[in-house]
Amino acid sequence: MCEVLQCRDIEKLIKKRKSVDESPVYYLTIDDIIKRAHIATGNGGRETMNCNLGAKYANITKEALKLFKSYCITCQEKRKRNKTAGVVAKSLLSSEFNSRGQIDLVDMQSLPQAQFKWLMVYRCHLTKFVIPRTLTIKRDAEVAFQLLDIFLLFGAPAILPSGNGSEFTAKVISELKEH
């Protein structure tokens, strides 16, 4: 069933081999073998550690691995940390039509289409409906003209943030007031 392998002055308990040339399969002592495997797998889960250790050690139980993992400080901190889903920002929720809109200007100067070098994108937060408009130049008056056209179709939103900054939005609103 098992045999003792002598390594200098240390004796290791191994699974009985059919021949001396066969690689030894050690019986696990909980000391730091699981810890080394856990670190080697990047604080891997129970199944990852079981695959890593199973080929070399005969008496590993999933319960022992689960117990070790439950005491691992790094794993405990991972569980406590808030998980984020990448860099995707959570959308703002609106409950009323036209309560919030969004305006962004996209620089298309590297790929201009005729005289149009800018793309204005208006988006309703409730319906996610997008209205794109082309611009020849990034001027407050031209943006205000295009917004006025959109507002006459759908109505003006109560809140209108812009990725171009509040200073830009304030200038556009001033232009809208003049029309």
What sign has the CA pseudo-torsion 85, 88, 93, 97?
negative
Residue reference for tokens 């509040």: 166
Residue 68 has what pLDDT? 72
* Radius of gyration of the CA atoms of the chain, in A: 33
Name the DSSP class of 41.
T
Residue ranges per structural domain of the chain: 2-80, 101-178
Q: What angle do CA 21, 26, 27 make, to 5 degrees?
A: 145
Distance (Å, whole) CA 106 – CA 117? 9
Amino acid at 122: Y
Q: State the pLDDT at residue 66.
A: 77
**One digit per residue, pLDDT tens: the chain, 179 residues?**
778 777 777 777 788 888 888 888 877 665 567 777 777 777 777 777 777 777 777 777 777 777 777 777 777 777 766 655 555 555 556 667 778 888 888 888 887 677 888 889 999 888 888 999 988 888 888 988 999 999 888 888 888 877 776 667 778 888 888 86
What is the pLDDT, as a whole number, of residue 122?
92
pLDDT for the residue numbered 38: 74
Q: How far apart are CA 25 and CA 16, in angstroms?
A: 8
Q: For the whole model, what pTM was predicted?
A: 0.46
Q: What is the four-CA torsion angle of 59, 63, 68, 69, rounded to 10 degrees?
A: 130
> CATH homologous superfamily of domain 101-178?
Ribonuclease H-like superfamily/Ribonuclease H (3.30.420.10)
Q: Is the dihedral of CA 94, 98, 100, 106 positive or negative?
A: positive
C-alpha to C-alpha distance for 31 and 52, rounded to whole angstroms: 17
